[in-house]
Structure 1
Amino acid sequence: MIIGVPKEIKNNENRVGLTPAGVAELRKHGHSLLVQAGAGEGSGFADSEYEQAGAVTLPTIADVYGQAEMIIKVKEPIAEEYPLIKENQLLFTYFHFASGEELTHAMIERKAICLAYETVELPSRALPLLIPMSEVAGRMAPQEGAKYLEKPLKGRGILLGGVPGVKPAHVLVLGGGIVGTQAAKVAAGLGAQVTIMDISLNRLRELDDFMPKNVQTVYSNEYNIREAIKTADLVVGAVLIPGAKAPHLITRDMLKTMRPGTVLVDVAVDQGGCIETCKPTTHENPTFIIDDVVHYCVANMPGAVPYTSTLALTNATLPYAVQLANLGWQEACRRNAALRLGLNVVHGEVVYKGVAEAWNLPLVEVDSVLEGATV
């Protein structure tokens, strides 16, 4: 199979879809790799490293899309990439269709095969291709929140861990999954007083068993959230419903009950956000203020630490990429139920329930698409 790795062109996105080690592994299986010149520079990988691993470097993004049967990326295609995508071309990347109506319709129109990292799901309900970036974003959230709590950046002027004789900051984490757990651990490690909320009592019991003593677990409901945000200095939104829009746990009217300079970090913003007033921002302009509350809503947080993120992502995606390349997407998805759940849009049809519901589109059963496909 001919596999293409284009340079990411989303604002301040420095990650790349495949490392030189990933290229070498796919070459070992007999596949051809086309890498756009400069694609790995932001992550610290030179063109020469890709060439030594067996890839051919091409000068433009159009060259890569034009020749590749399968595209491996990090973030969803943006508008200028839409015309480059060919019918029947396999795109293996993060899509987050449930928060992007324009993107959804564009991929339907292009009749590509869109296999989304974020909805590849194991029988255990784990999301193996989302976990590494969730770990990175979760660990970054308190780090970014601590920065924007500084007064010159319009925060409350509070040191997250406090000092002897002065109380530490109160950090509220909404969601006890991968992002929330990592955020709570880092915030607690910095010395903050942390409250983590979730709707699963079983998950709260698990968290209670291994979290340090400065982390409290509280059942998540509207009343408890409204009470907690009154004293929170930093709120981390870490809610995920796979492939679907995140629910709004903090609404516009709640902002008036927060203290001026409170910081909100909505890690769920690429799935629509769990804070109503959040809208996607970039690393170039990461924050905005509503009702004196600082909103940090960067949709590609791990892009700020591209070396770590690219290595972590390739570690997770490469085994699936090898299956797709070796077997073809149809047979790979027939054999691997986790990969099959990654299919979101196929040949102009929406095959993932969360995407169809988000934009009121007809849903086609994925099995019927696979039955009609030839290897």
Structure 2
Amino acid sequence: MNTTPTSQSADVRVEKLDGAGVITLDRPKALNALDHGMINAIAAALDSFRDDDAVDRVLLCSAGEKAYCAGGDVRSVRDSDLTGDYTPGDDLFRDEYDMNHALATFPTPTVALVDGIAMGGGLGVSAHAGVRVVTGRTWQSMPEMAIGFITDVGISHVFTHLPHVPENSRVALGVFLATTAYRLTVDDLLWSGLATHLLQDGDTAAFREALVSDGLDAALARTVGRDAAGESTLARNLDWITATFDGDDWSEIQRRVDAAEGDFADEVRAMLAPANPLSLVGATELLNYSAHVSLRRALDAEFALGCLLRRQPNFPEGVRAVLVDKDRQATFSPATVAEVTPEQREEIRRTVAGPAATPRNPR
């Protein structure tokens, strides 16, 4: 095997192995959560592989079986934001969203081998790959509502363009996934198209070896397709989700959720309980916007809306409650959707429709 190390960082291993570019997230004690250094290392690796004619396939994978990537380093963003200096956080998110776009537009085949938990930023380094392989240990979620933030890393676009979901249900399902932090099971992932293949035996090392030594087709021969999926909870409840989460007015969606009956409706209300009301309003506006624009424009809207929310008290309070003190007792203001003012709704709408900032290095 021809092994060529490329750039290295403490928590991301980058190698060129017989024509395969391999990016391994290697921060298992932190569940491979992305800090700014890791984001830059992944971006640099993609740049290097893009310019290397000898690389004809790229694999993103992780060290450890518990998590592929549990999200991004929002605690450090909160710390700098609380000093009144928003530049470090702005820079991190700009670089991350540029990296997400680079992965989505990469010119040669990309494979994400998602083993274990993938949340938040973890979807940004998996859902944009052309081939998305999961194992029986995989589940995914976007839990930003509880930390006073919004669905980002391009997933506002991904969730509203799921390839196997009926077109008339895509936006409503996207809003549902963004606002509830619903945990997508392997069956949900395969049914919706968020995953393209299932590695049934869970032998990620053998999959990696096959991809490096024998190529993509040989690696995928070890997997099965979406026909192997069991019953998806999302599929079973899709009609209800479509009817309930349709539209760009969260207040109306909230009324439908509150009036609904049945076990699934009870579960949905419980999932929504920790959410920041302004995040719910913002995510609904954002998902409806991202459904009709390019990924690049969706990322720009995510950045603009994220900047708006980070400069308000709910973001540091939400991160405190979920990740710092872990008491899950955030005090948001406004405390209910009914208290969100028309001026706040209009500010969110203007921010989403006309992003105030663009990435420094658009690709």
Taking structure 1 as the reference length, what is the TM-score of the superposition?
Answer: 0.23
Q: Larger radius of gyration, structure 1 or 2?
A: 1
- Higher helix proportion, which one? 2
